[in-house]
């Protein structure tokens, strides 16, 4: 692999600062975490988007959350077909090996992946429909939900509603995994749906009884 480069200097500098402060302050705890293993209380499925920091929002330090991040915080349906399924592998590890108590799906405003899915559904994104488009194929997980928001005229409002549908779709797909269904039935695991507004810092949770999102 002769294409890898050394780390840019500004990141080396920041790492050295962390080593001398954040690491040094917590050395004992990090060593225990290394020796005894992690015991995270929750798994979070969040978007790769650089503007969404679940650890900041919840003041979480090393060891608290097992975090999977993908485009648009999507969970595909259960499909044990022998292929590589990164999201399903992360969920399986969290629930069956780490036995997390909470599984949180965190959606967000201004999601580029969700917008791409809208464009695709409206026939405005032929490049995403190509078989070779990984983003297009990935967003097909969400596409069936588009009918729920197809009638909304205002594009901004439509996108914000569809982002919440992405959270609901993931929650629904999670329940298709046998090990999740049984853990939920056994009251060993609870699912939670959240949506955050990047610009306003607001946080909403999915209320299953009313089938809508409410301010936290």
**Which residues participate in the annotated binding site for Zn(2+)?**
47, 49, 108, 111
d(CA 181, CA 195): 23
Spatial CA neighbour of 104 closest among 44, 41, 159: 44
Query: Considering only residues 119, 143, 148, 205, which one is a binding residue for a copy of itself as defined by CB under 8 A?
Result: 205
Question: What gap in Å lies between CA 163 and CA 112, rounded to an integer?
Answer: 10
- Under rule CB under 8 A, residue 40 binds a copy of itself: yes
Binding pattern for the stretch 134-173 against a copy of itself, x by CB under 8 A and - elsewhere: xx-xxxxx--------------------------x--xx-
Among 123, 151, 153, 211, binds a copy of itself (CB under 8 A): 211
CA nearest neighbour of 67 among 79, 76, 58: 58
Which residues are known binding-site members?
Answer: 47, 49, 108, 111
Rule CB under 8 A: is residue 119 a binding residue for a copy of itself? no
Helix (H) or strand (E) holding 191: strand 190-197
Q: Is residue 210 at the binding interface for a copy of itself, with CB under 8 A as the rule? A: no
Angle at CA of residue 48, ends 43 and 54, nearest 5°: 45
Of 107, 113, 117, 166, which one interacts with a copy of itself (CB under 8 A)?
A: 113
Distance of closest approach, residue 164 Cβ to a copy of itself, in angstroms = 11
Binding-site size, a copy of itself (CB under 8 A): 127
Residue with the two structure tokens 């920041």: 14
Nearer to a copy of itself, 151 or 211 (CB): 211
Q: Does 20 bind a copy of itself (CB under 8 A)?
A: yes
Cα–Cα distance between 102 and 94 in angstroms, integer?
Answer: 10
Q: Which is nearer to a copy of itself, 162 or 206 (CB)?
A: 206
212 binds a copy of itself (CB under 8 A): no
Cβ 88 vs Cβ 177: under 8 Å: yes
Answer for the pair 194, 215: CB distance below 8 angstroms, yes or no.
no
Cβ-contact 81, 170 below 8 angstroms: no
Interface with a copy of itself in residues 92-111 (CB under 8 A): 92-94, 97, 99, 101-102, 104, 109-110
């Amino acid at each position: 692999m002769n294409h890898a480069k050394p780390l840019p200097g500004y990141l080396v500098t920041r790492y050295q600062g962390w080593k001398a402060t954040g690491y040094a302050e917590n050395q004992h705890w990090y060593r225990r975490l290394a020796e005894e293993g992690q015991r995270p209380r929750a798994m979070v499925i969040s978007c790769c988007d650089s503007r969404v920091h679940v650890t900041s929002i919840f003041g979480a330090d090393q060891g608290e959350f097992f975090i999977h991040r993908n485009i648009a915080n999507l969970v595909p349906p259960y499909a044990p077909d022998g292929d590589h399924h990164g999201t399903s592998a992360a969920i399986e590890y969290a629930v069956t090996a780490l036995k997390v108590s909470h599984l949180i799906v965190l959606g967000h405003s201004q999601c580029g992946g969700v917008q791409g899915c809208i464009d695709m559904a409206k026939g405005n994104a032929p490049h995403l429909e190509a078989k070779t488009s990984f983003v297009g194929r990935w967003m097909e997980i969400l596409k069936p939900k588009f009918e729920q928001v197809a009638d909304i005229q205002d594009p901004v409002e439509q996108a914000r509603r569809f982002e919440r549908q992405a959270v609901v779709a993931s929650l629904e797909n999670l329940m298709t995994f046998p090990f999740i269904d049984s853990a939920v039935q056994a009251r060993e695991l609870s699912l939670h749906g959240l949506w955050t507004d990047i610009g306003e810092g607001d946080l909403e949770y999915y209320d299953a009884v009313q089938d809508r999102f409410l301010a936290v």
